[in-house]
Amino acid sequence: MLEIKCQDISVRCCSAVLENGVRTLSADQERALDIIIRTFENQVKDVETQITSDTDRFHTTLCRLNIQMFHMYKNPTVSNSGSLARLLATACTVIDTVAELGKKQGSLPATPLHLFSSLMLATFTLLRILKSTVSRDLDAERAKTSLFLGINLAKQISTDTNDGAAKCVTILNQLWNSSKAFKKPDGTDAPLRIRSRLLLSPVLDAVWWWRDEFDAQYKAFMPSHNEPSDGNVLFNDARLLPQLTSESGADPSRDNPGVSSHNHSTILSERQEPLHLDDQFLANFEWSLGDDGLFAPTEPYGAMWPSTTNII
């Protein structure tokens, strides 16, 4: 019953945010968004009084993450470090909770899909926050520790080099080491370019940033809007799973026992298969292969709504 209540709060919050607008937010719309987020956060507090187990606490924390996620829809030029600080803390808690649940169950490869999706939502959120200029005003060390833990958990969940968890690990690793990710050409923070997927938009937006930088030829493999997909889109990046390094070049596992103790300063020496993001991987995120809903890096922030092809 508590989980259903949390789901209901998340759905109603999404509906309210969508009605307020998600593509281009004016100052009044951003203030309205703050009110919406506070209203539904208070509803989560009410549900938290009914917590009776660690699983209940996970559902309420995830619900809070779902709500706070909409702070990322704001104009990045507007200072909102306070909002992002709360979002950062919630994302870290979600990752820590998944790690604890994994220890109790003792079988991370058997992690349910909704738990894995929650882990990725929190991990990609931390990645984007850490890549932003506002991260210097936040608890970056805690965020890094949780980011590395989230990546390591995804590695443990993965059972094959080409499954969804392994692909997410690749994307997270390469974007972490990227100097271009989530940045405009002038070096300032870029807004979300995918805004039609509500709670999952930050995850899908990160995947698009990865495709832009690490597979410049991906469009050559994309089916046209008038042709059916062959269900197997190839990405020609043979450097699968590059090793994770911190910005300082230090080994993140040294101070974080939750991270694998591999040498993170070097790239894997063994040959890896090219990374495939096929229809099934994208379908897990309810995402079509078309790019009509993409907010181009050079497109003005005040652009019109994208084609509705990928919004439904």
pLDDT one-digit tens code per residue, 47-67 = 999 999 989 999 999 999 999
Q: What pLDDT is recorded for position 277?
A: 57
Q: How far is CA 272 from CA 70, 177, 244, 262, in A?
A: 37, 19, 16, 17
- Residue with the bigger pLDDT between 263 and 120: it is 120
Place 312 in a pLDDT band, splitting at 50, 70 and 90.
very low
Interval 205-217 mean pLDDT:
83
Q: Going by C-beta distance under 8 Å and a sequence separation of 6 or more, which residues neighbour residue 31?
A: none
Find out whether 123 and 147 touch, Cβ atoms under 8 Å.
yes
For the stretch 13-22, pLDDT in tens is 999 999 998 8
For the stretch 174-192, pLDDT in tens is 999 999 999 998 988 988 8
Q: How far apart are the first and last CA of the chain?
A: 29
Find out whether 307 and 292 touch, Cβ atoms under 8 Å.
yes
Q: How far apart are CA 202 and CA 207, in angstroms?
A: 9
Q: What percent of the chain has pLDDT over 70?
A: 68
Task: Provide the total of helices (H) and of strands (E) in the chain, helices listed first.
Answer: 9, 0
- Alpha-helical runs (H) found in 78-157: 81-105, 113-131, 140-157
Distance of CA 82 to the CA centre of its chain: 20
In this structure, what DSSP letter does residue 21 have?
Answer: -
Whether 137 has a pLDDT exceeding 60, the answer reads yes
Q: What percent of the chain has pLDDT over 90?
A: 46
Q: Going by C-beta distance under 8 Å and a sequence separation of 6 or more, which residues neighbour residue 42?
A: none
Q: What pLDDT is recorded for position 212?
A: 85
* Sequence letter at residue 202: P
